[in-house]
Amino acid sequence: MQPNCSVVARNNVTIHGSGSTVIMLAHGFGCDQQMWRHLLPYLVEKYKVVLFDYVGCGASDYSAYDNNRYATLDGYAQDVLDICEALNLKDVIFIGHSVSSMIGMHAAIQSPHIFSKLAMVCPSPCFLNFPPDYMGGFDKADLEELLNLMDKNYVGWANYLAPLVMGQDNSADLIQELETSFCSTDPKFAKPFAKTTFFSDDRAQLAKLMLPTLILQSKHDNLASTNVGEYMNNAIPDAKMHIVDAYGHCLHMTNPATVFTLFEDFAA
């Protein structure tokens, strides 16, 4: 493995707060650690918070990107495990947004001794529809069309996706922030991450997750319905779910106080 300092630099790791309990916050697709700034002020007074960017996102070291490694969620999970090893972390409470919920699950299944609990913000184990047994929300052709739009008109793709993800009823500033984040991500790295995010099927992995798990699902989410949350809640052995009466796929940005309150009950 690379020296500790190179892992920290590679993933642009930043540490906030000084509590005895360590929380790791993992951003979703098309985002970076800055998206946690709405929730971070609630956490730093009590917890030590580790933030980072996946390779290919934010201020990470783009020269460390490997096409084979990041073709699956396991590659991103290895980023998480590398950071934990580099910082000698243990008993970590992992909070993942969207696809990072599944990335955290992969990391926890592989190295359960590192983590104590997992919290998932608007997770989905599979965005694809497999009727009649499972409805992830999207037909394969629709997702393929979305990926093709990235090639044809990247800015147009971002303009379309940002309000869909954030929720049209949320503030224009938050929608613009997400759109800017999408646009600032190099398509060379964004498209493989999108493909991995939207075409992964981790339903069979849910039963392998043995850690206490909190599922926070938005009541009105264009990407992950409450039915998806209920599916996960039934499949993960030690899970509890809360449906937040909110719009959009980014509860940590739109409803940080609610997320913090529910997390505090779970972390206690």
Q: What residues act catalytically?
A: 98, 221, 249
Q: Which two tokens stand for residue 213?
A: 């798990």
Type and span of the H or E element at 240: strand 239-247
What Å distances lie between residue 50 and 117, 167, 168, 173, 203, CA to CA? 15, 27, 30, 26, 28
d(CA 228, CA 244): 14
> 77 — phi, psi (to 5°)?
-60, -35
d(CA 101, CA 107): 10
Residue showing tokens 């719009």: 247
Q: How many residues in total does the chain contain?
A: 268
Kind of pairing between the strands at 129-130 and 134-135: antiparallel
The gap between the terminal CA atoms of the chain, to the nearest Å, is 34
Residue showing tokens 């960017």: 53
